[in-house]
Structure 1
Amino acid sequence: MRPELVIFDMDGLMFDTERVYYEAWEQAAKFYGYEFNWDIYIQLVARNSRTIGMILRKIYGEDFPYEEASQKKRELADQILEKQGITKKAGLMELLDFLEAEGISKAVATSSTREKALAYLSLGGVKERFDHIVCGSDVVESKPNPEIFQVAAQALQKIPEKCMVLEDSKMGIKAAKAAGMYGVLIPDLVKADDEMREDASFILSSLHEVIDLIKSEKQVVK
């Protein structure tokens, strides 16, 4: 298919940051006396801050100091990224170059706060490459609700049928489907399960393959 707008998730899709967040959450939870594991982390991926707080308090109890732990997690993640730098996913720059050459609009739709999103996009050297940026703090509902993708499309005056969403998570790809957009799943930390395969329009292994997909003008047949 040839979209008029390609909407990018950020963490795990453009940047290899999910592993950093897991390490930071694990250390932050331990600092406050709580055990944190992979099964808990997967529930937090692609969720906004308000929803993450609700999930963690449901797991740990209402006494869990979410605001303090979340701040600690941000500080730890920033320290790791400041030391290691932010790693761009293979094919990102080539895809951005291709979309610009083709005159296809580009937006970011991330569950991260605006402060963090702008900082990381700047650190990765791609903030100015996008026509619009929508963050978790800009919307009421969290993925899998489609609101964040709808806001991005409306801002650039594109109809859902002409939008392609690039996502790495189950919640993100469900949101793309709910928005009536083409959802392209590029798995990061979690392999695609049956539910993700059902929700995705296409499943690719890297951002490089998105260029070939657009060139091929394939249509979804389900």
Structure 2
Amino acid sequence: MFRIWIVFLCFGFSLSLFSQESSKLGEKEIRSSQRVRFINRSSARAGEEVRGTNEKVGSGLAESLKKEPDKTHTQGGISVTRIAPEEKKFGADVISVLEDSDFGHINSIQRILTGFVKLNFGYDDKNSDILATYILYYNAIHRKDKSYISKKYSNSVIKFVTPQSIGISKRYSEWPGKTQILIPLVEDVLGKDVHTDELEDEVNKELDKKKDGQSEKDKFGDLQNEKTKKN
């Protein structure tokens, strides 16, 4: 059974393949990310319809992946491919922003990830949101960082991704066709818990340097505490 280890990225917004049954978010890798600010096309707030559509794209992709985990699925300008972990290295759910997409604000991508995380790994709204934020930061920090990815991820992931598209750019105009967001997956014998150490370590060490990073750290800490109580 496989768990997903997500290294959570606490953001301050300016703003091959394996079976999916009972898999959970591997949060450990994601938690080691830093705070990132993105350059958006506009600061205008999205309407309720747009926000709902974004989350439905994420949940739709998660539902498709549950039914057919060995295929690439596409919806609303986004695709997802699942790749298995190998020899103690991370696998990944690779979320790609397609070339014909037109996302102008990081919040749209964040909402898609929230919908995906919520349905795929069973988190509630609040924790899905902070997990999605950490994932974005993690991928912005490791943008085009093939050296880091090669150390952490399986050979299958390395072969699948394009070096110039790894992660997500801080600038919206560079997202279409050039974005491969990695959600780290780890094989778990017990298959019970979600581990968030990786994300926490990567992100929080940078948040400690920011005056406005405590809020994200607190939210992630709450998520960790909830997990501990359930186990």
So what's the TM-score if we normalise by structure 1? 0.27
Higher relative contact order (CA closer than 8 Å, sequence separation 6+): 2
Larger fraction in helix: 1
So what's the TM-score if we normalise by structure 2? 0.26
